[in-house]
Amino acid sequence: MSTSISSLFLATPSTTNTAAAAASAVKPQPVASAGADTVQLTEAQQVYQLYNSGQRVSQIASKLSLTEAAVNSYLNLSATG
């Protein structure tokens, strides 16, 4: 998993009129370019990031092609906790 650092700083306009927001909705464009800075996360870091974003252990295991035991190990969780 790699994350473009420059994509973390994109601002999204805030509008109070939902009709205007829907009318002006534009598909997001990729920010990455040949010179974009990216960060390569280790498997453990990916597990932590997904867990902290609210993903369940089973979802993380499926997404990263890991066993639930491996995810629990990265998170220092017991199999029942």
pLDDT averaged over consecutive 10-residue blocks of the chain (81 residues)?
A: 53 49 56 73 94 95 96 85 47
Whole-angstrom Cα distance, residue 79 to residue 69?
Answer: 7
Alpha helices in the chain (DSSP H): 18-23, 43-52, 57-63, 68-74
pLDDT given for residue 15 in this prediction: 45
